[in-house]
A and B are shown apart, each in its own frame.
Chain A
Amino acid sequence: MPPKEESSKVTRRSTRSSASVTVENSEPTESHTPTIDDLTFGEESITIDAVLSNFPGRRSQIFDFIRLMGPLDCPTLPIMIYGGASTGKTSVVLQVLRHLNRPFVYSSCRTCYNPRILFESILNQLLLHRKCSLNGYSSAKRCDKPSDFVNLLREALSSVIKTLESTSGTSRSDKPDEKPMGKMVYLILDNVDLIRDWDKGTIILQFLFSLYTVLKMPQLGIILISGLPPDVYYSNMGYTDPIPLYFPEYSEEDLRQIFLRNQPNRKLYSAFLDVVLKPFCRVTRRVEELSTTFSLLFRKFCEPLDDLGISPNEDMKRRLYSHLKPLIAHCLNEIFRVSSHPHDGETRGERRQKASYSSENREELEILDFHMSTSAKFLLLSAFLASRNPATLDASMFDSTGGMDNRKRKRKASEKSMEKKEIAEQEAVMKGPGSFPLERLLAIFQCIASVGDSSFGEEDEEEENTTGYDKENNNLMSDILLQVSSLCDANFLIKSGSCPLEGSIRYRSMVSEDLAQKVAKSLSFPLSKYLYRR
């Protein structure tokens, strides 16, 4: 039977619009056809000292990695590099390969999110194929099964190695002092831990770990980079695990070195770090989380200074510290929050900062920082109340007197009932917010909205639509149902399972108490009166 080659061209359906528009086939810019040299890092090669100074605190890991890679053309067993996020694994690997000037193929399992894209990306790089408009942005070969991948990889690797062997024989006269490329190719797979969440991820992982033994090509070196330690990959089938290399989190000293790099005024910044680094390191040691907070704080730190180039003496340092100190405590609690207000001296931002200066205790800002319509706010509150209060108390809670009766039990609670109360409290915490049917939500909403109206008359600055609301209440039922669905989309309400007897949908409120308090404050609604506390 004659072989039928799989065409790599993508056949496009011609739609009416594309047929009518004549494609302007402008001369394609001289696209760079990749050569074997493109498999190396490409830029200027750097010395080992440059690599070491670029990565403070990673000295031993860099040397370990170079030793595991070995000298030129040295066969190597698969290596797995693992460590937490933003510990520098990918950058160290790539920079070391730039220093050693060896050809490699890099693929990340974050951008290649299923096996087919991963395999095709690796093959494209090895076959020196670049996706461009000429070939319709398609890959060189179509491959989505591991069996095809092994065959195609073997072919591609043999051709690459043959090219490498022929170029290594001839001396390279144009760059005499560059390191030779050698005859080995390295395959780097990044974010291997994401494969676990893929469809059939365990089979793919098993396949990747045994790729070296299946291929039996000593000219290939495999480097896997993973965010999780190797013991999460253990499965029933077992595999020969790769050689591990661990990147621990940075210590405080390393963090200081990292933050001092690229600073225009090192003395000033190091004085800043003296006061800031220790307390923030108690919360997190990750570089990406600390850097956003530090940039903000440094701006505040330098506010009293007129000249940012001076190196501070002791007196000035003390002054700057006292200026910064009240803000540190507040920022520690806001460390993971990226504020939506730019702090470039905008008046609104400054006003908020001044407000936080005055409140010395750690109070959350009481202002709701997104806009919701009044009916949506009332719906939110009624959903919150419906989730928190048991249904049996509705009648007493929402009667005409409004609010719970302050009928305090004067009897001292016995020990047994205290225990029962504690257990009930624990169970309530474990179960989370309760679910309620739609009718209960609407009933509570109607009660609250009428109560809220009566308190509107007193404060009449804040809202615009105060007086007309009561009259239009009866006509707004369809509008309210629309609000319910938009609250569901915003994840303030979620649909939980439906009651098997009645078949009506039940909802659950996902709003935290802080947010509910904020919303209630913005409506001047006495929320605590309606909240049932055990």
Chain B
Amino acid sequence: MGKEIPAEKSLNLIRGRLCHPSFIFRPLSASSDSNYSKLKFIVSTSIMEGCNNSILLLGPRGSGKAAVLDLVVGDLLEQFPDSVSVIRLNGLLHSDDNCAFKEIARQLCMEHHLLFSKMASFDENSHFIIAMLRECGLAHKTIIFVLDEFDMFAQGKQRLLYSLLDAMQSVTSQAVVIGISSRLDADQLLEKRVRSRFSHRKILFLPPSRDELDGLLEHLLSLPADSSFPSGYVSRFNDKIKNITSDRRFKDILKTFFNAHSTVNSFLKFIFCAVSLMNLESGLLSLENFKAALSSMQRQPKLEAVRDCSVLELYLLVCMRRLEVKEQSSYNFISVMKEYKAIHDSFQTSDYYAQNVCIRGFEHLRERQVICYAENRGQSQTGEYRPMKLLISASELHQGMRSHACCPAILLKLLDH
């Protein structure tokens, strides 16, 4: 393929950075009191002194816990090449004890070039793991267990946690258990016997400050001045970025964004959307890209659903709303039909359709999750008699109808009464 145009190359580069977590979190972890340094200190001390340890990393989803941990693990693997091995487990996949032990055994086998048998039973796997722990301890090798989605492991009988933490109590084993969870009370979920063996070290991941994020933005979007780009292009691109970030409107955009989203991951998604809208001919970002990205992240799905409704479906929604206003606590299809007929009789609307047509309108509304059945247990009744409820509020309905392409004026009048 011929030469790529520089716009495409820069797009590839920036998007590659956005999808690569360690690039993003390294500058955030540069200071000495960051979570990265704390974690690294704890783990490296336990490796060097040959003792056991357990830590929990807590923070909302998308705040970079796994990314920072990967950075730490990567650095430690470079620092102590032969004395560290890593076992990774995920609570979504391995919450079942059988699965978890099989996975640990499989990863241990892969590390140490042993043959793994898929037919091994649970007991065999657990004996194998304990034996490996002892051997590694005698060889002064530390095993780091990374337990992602830690709260999923704390469901049920917590056998895996107990056996791991129990094995660490024996003198010969050297292991560090690092749990990652987005539930801030993950350690409260542990059983008494597990909690007693757990050292209550917790590292909290808080949302980054505005300065850190500004620095991150610049770090992400500035192109390196190496030879693969045409030289004038790099300087033009970086100047444009500087112009945008110092613009007051851009700061307003960022402020609106941070009112709703506080984690690093959502910020990265925002930058991703903005960068994807880059004009490929000029190869430069502009303020409009960021504005468009912000509006695409501020979706209102119920509003979109109402705007997608046909006129008949709007009638049905208005009838349901009127029944609610009349303080009828529960209503079903037949009562909505009665209200529909009453509206037609009093206002002589042109949109009066037969019952089978209205039932299909109801089904469409139900598929779009604008209405639903009020209770699940009335399965023995046909759909016409089951009580229903609205899933959107009155103001959303108002707003949706006002922005609808062809909503009849009478409906808005009926809604206000």
Contact of A210 among B92, B277, B369 (CB under 8 A): B92
Question: Which B residue's beta carbon lies closest to that of A511?
Answer: B382
Say whether A258 faces chain B, with CB atoms less than 8 Å apart: no
A246 to B310, CA, bound (A): 18
In the assembled complex, the CB of B66 is this many whole angstroms from the nearest CB of chain A, namely: 7
Contact of A508 among B15, B16, B380 (CB under 8 A): B380
Q: Is the interface of A mostly helix, strand, loop or mixed?
A: loop
Q: Point out the residues of chain B lying under 8 angstroms from A88, CB to CB.
A: none
Known interface pairs A281-B310, A430-B387; A77-B19 also in contact (CB < 8 Å):
yes
A333 to B62, CA, bound (A): 51
Q: Please tell me if the beta carbons of B92 and A6 are within 8 angstroms of each other in the complex.
A: no
A494 to B331, CA, bound (A): 22
Q: Point out the residues of chain B lying under 8 angstroms from A3, CB to CB.
A: 115-118
Say whether A130 faces chain B, with CB atoms less than 8 Å apart: no
Q: Please tell me if the beta carbons of A206 and B92 are within 8 angstroms of each other in the complex.
A: yes
Q: Please tell me if the beta carbons of B369 and A232 are within 8 angstroms of each other in the complex.
A: yes
Q: Please tell me if the beta carbons of B99 and A145 are within 8 angstroms of each other in the complex.
A: yes
Q: Please tell me if the beta carbons of B360 and A284 are within 8 angstroms of each other in the complex.
A: yes
Q: Point out the residues of chain A lying under 8 angstroms from B116, CB to CB.
A: 3
In the assembled complex, the CB of A25 is this many whole angstroms from the nearest CB of chain B, namely: 33
Say whether B332 faces chain A, with CB atoms less than 8 Å apart: yes
Contact of A430 among B1, B18, B301, B335 (CB under 8 A): B335
Say whether A207 faces chain B, with CB atoms less than 8 Å apart: yes
Say whether A532 faces chain B, with CB atoms less than 8 Å apart: no
A244 to B330, CA, bound (A): 35
Q: Please tell me if the beta carbons of A333 and B332 are within 8 angstroms of each other in the complex.
A: no
Say whether B219 faces chain A, with CB atoms less than 8 Å apart: no
Contact of B353 among A145, A332, A432 (CB under 8 A): A332
In the assembled complex, the CB of B123 is this many whole angstroms from the nearest CB of chain A, namely: 14
Q: Please tell me if the beta carbons of A180 and B265 are within 8 angstroms of each other in the complex.
A: no
Contact of B335 among A230, A248, A285, A429 (CB under 8 A): A429
Of residues 424 to 464 in A, which have CB atoms within 8 Å of B's CB atoms? 426, 429-433
Contact with A along B340-372 (1 / 0, CB 8 A): 000000000001011011001100100111000
Known interface pairs A71-B8, A281-B310; A337-B93 also in contact (CB < 8 Å):
no
Binding-face segment, B35-43, B161-169, B249-257, B268-276: B268-276
Contact of B385 among A71, A74, A151, A433 (CB under 8 A): A433
Q: Please tell me if the beta carbons of A85 and B367 are within 8 angstroms of each other in the complex.
A: yes
Say whether A357 faces chain B, with CB atoms less than 8 Å apart: no
In the assembled complex, the CB of B124 is this many whole angstroms from the nearest CB of chain A, namely: 8
A76 to B272, CA, bound (A): 9
Binding-face segment, A101-109, A235-243, A404-412: A235-243
Known interface pairs A239-B61, A433-B385; A218-B16 also in contact (CB < 8 Å):
yes
Q: Please tell me if the beta carbons of A248 and B304 are within 8 angstroms of each other in the complex.
A: yes
Q: Please tell me if the beta carbons of B12 and A70 are within 8 angstroms of each other in the complex.
A: yes
A512 to B355, CA, bound (A): 11
Q: Please tell me if the beta carbons of B18 and A248 are within 8 angstroms of each other in the complex.
A: no
Q: Please tell me if the beta carbons of B92 and A228 are within 8 angstroms of each other in the complex.
A: no
Contact of A282 among B16, B276, B351 (CB under 8 A): B351
Contact of B272 among A214, A243, A431, A496 (CB under 8 A): A243
In the assembled complex, the CB of A135 is this many whole angstroms from the nearest CB of chain B, namely: 20
Q: Please tell me if the beta carbons of A147 and B103 are within 8 angstroms of each other in the complex.
A: yes
Say whether B139 faces chain A, with CB atoms less than 8 Å apart: no
Q: Which residues of A contact B (CB under 8 A)?
A: 1-4, 6, 67-68, 70-77, 84-85, 145-147, 150-151, 180, 203, 206-207, 210, 213-214, 218, 227-232, 237-240, 243-244, 246, 248-249, 251-252, 281-286, 289, 332-333, 335-337, 362, 364, 426, 429-433, 494, 496-497, 508, 510, 512
Provide a sorted-by-A list of 11 A–B residue pairs whose CB atoms are within 8 angstroms.
A3-B117, A75-B12, A84-B367, A218-B20, A231-B301, A238-B61, A239-B61, A283-B310, A336-B357, A430-B387, A496-B380
19 new A-B contacts, CB < 8 A, other than A243-B272, A430-B335, are A3-B117, A3-B118, A68-B276, A71-B4, A76-B15, A77-B18, A77-B269, A84-B367, A147-B93, A214-B93, A229-B305, A229-B369, A232-B369, A238-B61, A282-B351, A283-B361, A364-B354, A432-B332, A510-B382
Q: Which residues of B contact A (CB under 8 A)?
A: 1, 4, 8, 11-12, 15-16, 18-20, 60-62, 66, 90, 92-94, 99, 103, 106, 115-120, 148, 182, 265-266, 269, 272-273, 276-277, 280, 296, 299, 301-302, 304-305, 307-308, 310-312, 328, 330-332, 334-335, 338, 351, 353-354, 356-357, 360-361, 364, 367-369, 380-382, 384-385, 387, 405-406
